[in-house]
Amino acid sequence: MEQLQIRTMAEFAATGEVPEVLFWVGCAGSFDDRAKKITKAFVRILNAAKVKFAILGQEETCTGDPARRAGNEFLFQMQALQNVTVLNGYGVKRIVTACPHCFNTLKNEYPALGGVYEVMHHTQFINALLKEGRIKVEGGDFKGKRITFHDPCYLGRGNNEYEAPREVLLKLDAALVELKRSKQNGLCCGAGGAQMFKEAEPGKREVNVERSEEALAATPNVIAAGCPFCNTMLTDGVKHFNKEGEVVVLDVAELVANAADL
């Protein structure tokens, strides 16, 4: 495999170069073993499209999203103000991220704290690269396969982006099957609002089991996700039904990177 080309913002600044876009990796993308694969798949796409991108590296810290959702506004603003200082210090204009929670916070909540950027979710960015012809993808392994897309709440309902991930998936020559509850009516995976970091409150079943059951009912070969947390929740849900041998949960970036053999 070709070595990934990754440079930090500090390295760009040292040479006086300006990157096209900052890739906000996010905590899941940096630390979670499953999500790291998504991060690398997206970097392979960026490399293939010859996108001059930078990451913040060790200067990146949590956006503060889970702290804010869990009611700790102080901690959120500590994180946010520090991140805004770093981002503005580098004169960052455009940001892309593979996490809808980072996406929502950077795009919608940082402006009130002085951080105004053009922020894209990676499915939007990949879609643009495909449309501009900077990368090409044909079905490859996924040709004719049944793929279903689980809308992340913070991308879909939260920010009204339903089409970009679907447009990308359609490029794979796969059969895109919709879940019973999709788009505006999509059912949460159970991780949002800081639930990812705590035990679920007492109930009849786990939210991710409910959602995975619905996804499996669509008899897909692949459940496509656009969020590292949804990915974890759905992967666990598929395992709950002992279907991990038949159905695989992949991020849109992984599907594209695999199909394009990047």
- Which of 179, 48, 182 is closest to 126 using CA atoms? 48
How many Cβ atoms sit within 10 Å of the Cβ of residue 213? 14
240 binds other proteins (CB under 8 A): no
Angle at 137 between CA 134 and CA 140, to 5 degrees: 160
| Cβ–Cβ under 8 Å, residues 119 and 83 | no
Q: Rank residues 129 and 188 by Cβ distance to other proteins and give the closer one.
A: 188
Please select the residue that binds other proteins; options are 10, 11, 72, 258, rule is CB under 8 A: 72
β-bridge pairing 248-251 and 222-225: parallel
Which region among 14-22, 54-62, 162-170, 236-244 touches other proteins (by CB under 8 A)? 54-62
40 binds other proteins (CB under 8 A): yes
Edge-to-edge strands of the sheet including 222-225?
175-177, 146-149, 222-225, 248-251
User: Mask of contacts with other proteins, 155-194, x by CB under 8 A?
Assistant: --xxxx-----------------------xx-xx-xxxxx
206 binds other proteins (CB under 8 A): yes
57 binds other proteins (CB under 8 A): yes
| Cβ–Cβ under 8 Å, residues 247 and 218 | no
Helix (H) or strand (E) holding 250: strand 248-251
Q: Rank residues 117 and 154 by Cβ distance to other proteins and give the closer one.
A: 154
| Alpha-carbon gap, residue 233 to 193, rounded angstroms | 14
217 binds other proteins (CB under 8 A): no
60 binds other proteins (CB under 8 A): yes
Instruction: Return the exposure string of 89-104: e unless at least 16 CB atoms fall within 10 Å of the residue's CB, then b.
Output: ebebeebbbbbbbbbb
Please select the residue that binds other proteins; options are 2, 15, 16, 201, rule is CB under 8 A: 201
Please select the residue that binds other proteins; options are 10, 36, 93, 248, rule is CB under 8 A: 36
Please select the residue that binds other proteins; options are 16, 133, 203, 245, rule is CB under 8 A: 203
Size of the site for other proteins (CB under 8 A): 69
153 binds other proteins (CB under 8 A): yes
| Cβ–Cβ under 8 Å, residues 69 and 194 | yes
- Which of 61, 95, 89 is closest to 75 using CA atoms? 61
Q: What's the min distance (Å) between Cβ of 54 and other proteins?
A: 13
Position 14: which residue type? Answer: A
Q: Which residues of the shown chain bind other proteins in the complex (CB under 8 A)? A: 4, 6, 25, 27, 29-32, 36, 39-40, 57-58, 60-62, 64, 66-75, 77-79, 81-82, 104, 107-109, 112-113, 153-154, 157-160, 184-185, 187-188, 190-207, 209-211
